[in-house]
Chains A and B, each alone.
Chain A
């Protein structure tokens, strides 16, 4: 079983052509990042607004959680059936597929972004304002840099969910790595089916690693604690004395 999966993956013929792994991988990335772009466009500004102003947090948290409960697959089928007549030909399947991936991805980004901003040390925020930063300066110079670890981890989990779920695009005649799973199932070609699943898993892990590296470089060392200099120790605690005889 496992060896047949490897031989399917190892067969160069399976990698080339319009039905090949390479092309499907590119398609999968297109769906995933296409959806992610919309997720970021919606989730980040909304999250920053809620976190910065403290307004609408409860309402948005409720909506986000409700979205999480929507069954992605069911929603996809419903949208295709309900709207296929109203969409331009190219978007009959792509539109609903992207839409459900966006619905899937927004909650994690949105809630992590506003939680990240809200959790910024109130004293730092107060000091920033008190020193004369405008609202926007407080947001971009203090709140966002300090919220980055949470914001990025929201993006990471959102991306993982999207990459894993983008396989359903194949169910509505689209491409992507889901193609191998669905075709493999209908053709009883279990090597192809399992190979597709392995590829999705590997892709998810690879993308998460890339995100981890990005996180490492964009988050301040003052927050991650990876200091270049040795941490405070005896030499730092000096200069304290009291007078007595």
Chain B
């Protein structure tokens, strides 16, 4: 647990970066600090490991007053990941990862072999061990940064905009893997970002900070989207709140069975399977490949990969209603494809079916809270 108690950071020139922050980041959870530039989110994070010293107030790490321990010792027990990874250019990847265990005086050989295990854990092949940071892409460097922070197995991790310097595709992938890793490790994490979507996606709780360093709202992502406490938070959370809140809404859908075709099937088979002129092609493991339009297939022709329409998104059947609705809206056939954990087809739903489900759930909640 990390606890801020009336923490203030005031600079000699009079600027107040953080103004009386009170906040608890529970153990094993991800707490995201989000806010516009100048809201003190990075300052707040850096005060936890005393890269910046608070002007007044106390930050507790469990029952330890962080101001009362040696700063270097404190930092060795806290994982630290920063925006540009900050890898050491002169050290190989494995030695970068092993930095803190080596600082703690652990056995070199053991530290290295653990570092290689960690590299694999964050999705880097062991063959990268002897490479240097300059040989890796930005996303890969950031993975090394995460592995390095995890190397001494600290209970607490501080992450300062770790994914904001990579392109959106790699960022989404790093976020997903970060969540998977956290589900295995259960660290107490403070995560700073200026991107509200990232905050909502990653946070167990989100602290929205205002310019001047005050806390505007501390809430779960779903609450933040559905019930912002004031105009500032509402404005910062942004447009499409209703739609985005669906990302936290899961509900039992009743998918229709879909007749499928395979690559190599002929026009007649496609015609038989088609509903509204479209049929879904799957592979041997029943994983969806794409939609094929019956009319696009001349008599006697077969289904080929080039014919497939790949515009539709896939939604896990156990996932959010937002995903299901998006799958339905993006499907050329008007039917959203639901898949199971193995990626195999479960069935399809239409947008109106998803919306009905959403409405009945929201109505149920309204009535529940009224009564």
- Kindly provide the distance from the CB of B346 to the nearest chain A CB, expressed in whole angstroms: 13
Given A123-B82, A240-B169, A240-B170, also A132-B89 (CB < 8 A): no
Is A13 in contact with chain B by the CB < 8 A criterion? no
Among B80, B123, B310, which residue has its beta carbon within 8 angstroms of that of A244?
B310
Given A124-B89, A221-B132, also A131-B76 (CB < 8 A): yes
Q: Is there contact, CB below 8 Å, between A126 and B82?
A: yes
Residue of B nearest to A237 (CB): B137
Total cross-chain contacts (CB, 8 A): 122
- Kindly provide the distance from the CB of B134 to the nearest chain A CB, expressed in whole angstroms: 6
Among A133, A142, A231, which residue has its beta carbon within 8 angstroms of that of B135?
A231
Is A216 in contact with chain B by the CB < 8 A criterion? no
Is A236 in contact with chain B by the CB < 8 A criterion? yes
Given A124-B87, A133-B72, A220-B90, also A245-B82 (CB < 8 A): no
Is A146 in contact with chain B by the CB < 8 A criterion? yes
- Kindly provide the distance from the CB of B139 to the nearest chain A CB, expressed in whole angstroms: 7
User: What string of 1s and 0s marks CB contacts (under 8 Å) between A120-140 and chain B?
Assistant: 010111111111111001000
Among A137, A223, A229, A244, which residue has its beta carbon within 8 angstroms of that of B89?
A223
- Which A residues lie within 8 Å of B100 (CB)? 131-132
Among A132, A221, A231, A245, which residue has its beta carbon within 8 angstroms of that of B103?
A132
Q: Is there contact, CB below 8 Å, between A124 and B86?
A: yes
Given A223-B89, A239-B123, also A228-B130 (CB < 8 A): yes
* Sample of 11 further A-B pairs with CB below 8 A, known A141-B88, A146-B88: A121-B86, A123-B84, A124-B86, A125-B86, A132-B76, A220-B91, A222-B134, A232-B136, A242-B169, A244-B312, A245-B311
Q: Is there contact, CB below 8 Å, between B132 and A222?
A: yes
- Which B residues lie within 8 Å of A219 (CB)? 90
Among B103, B123, B132, B170, which residue has its beta carbon within 8 angstroms of that of A227?
B132
A141 to B99, CA, bound (A): 10
- Which B residues lie within 8 Å of A221 (CB)? 132
A221 to B91, CA, bound (A): 9
Report whether over half of chain A's contact residues are helix, strand or loop; otherwise say mixed: loop
Q: Is there contact, CB below 8 Å, between B170 and A146?
A: no
- Which B residues lie within 8 Å of A245 (CB)? 288-291, 310-314, 337
Residue of A nearest to B46 (CB): A130
A126 to B161, CA, bound (A): 14
- Which A residues lie within 8 Å of B82 (CB)? 123, 126-127, 130
A239 to B80, CA, bound (A): 25
- Which B residues lie within 8 Å of A123 (CB)? 82-86
- Which A residues lie within 8 Å of B169 (CB)? 240, 242
User: What string of 1s and 0s marks CB contacts (under 8 Å) between B300-318 and chain A?
Assistant: 0000000000111110000
Q: Is there contact, CB below 8 Å, between B135 and A229?
A: yes
16 contacts between A and B (CB under 8 A): A124-B89, A127-B85, A127-B88, A127-B145, A131-B148, A132-B73, A132-B100, A146-B89, A220-B90, A220-B91, A220-B132, A229-B130, A232-B136, A232-B137, A243-B314, A244-B314
- Which B residues lie within 8 Å of A133 (CB)? 72, 103
- Which B residues lie within 8 Å of A134 (CB)? 72
Is B140 in contact with chain A by the CB < 8 A criterion? yes
Q: Is there contact, CB below 8 Å, between A236 and B135?
A: yes
Q: Which of A103-122 contact B (CB under 8 A)?
A: 121
Given A130-B49, A245-B337, also A222-B90 (CB < 8 A): yes
A220 to B103, CA, bound (A): 20
- Most B Cβ at <10 Å: residue of A130, A220, A227, A245: A245
- Which B residues lie within 8 Å of A141 (CB)? 88
Is A71 in contact with chain B by the CB < 8 A criterion? no
Is A225 in contact with chain B by the CB < 8 A criterion? yes
- Which A residues lie within 8 Å of B99 (CB)? 131
User: What string of 1s and 0s marks CB contacts (under 8 Å) between B74-111 and chain A?
Assistant: 11110010111111111110000001100100000000
Given A133-B72, A231-B135, A236-B135, also A222-B89 (CB < 8 A): yes
- Most B Cβ at <10 Å: residue of A228, A231, A244: A244
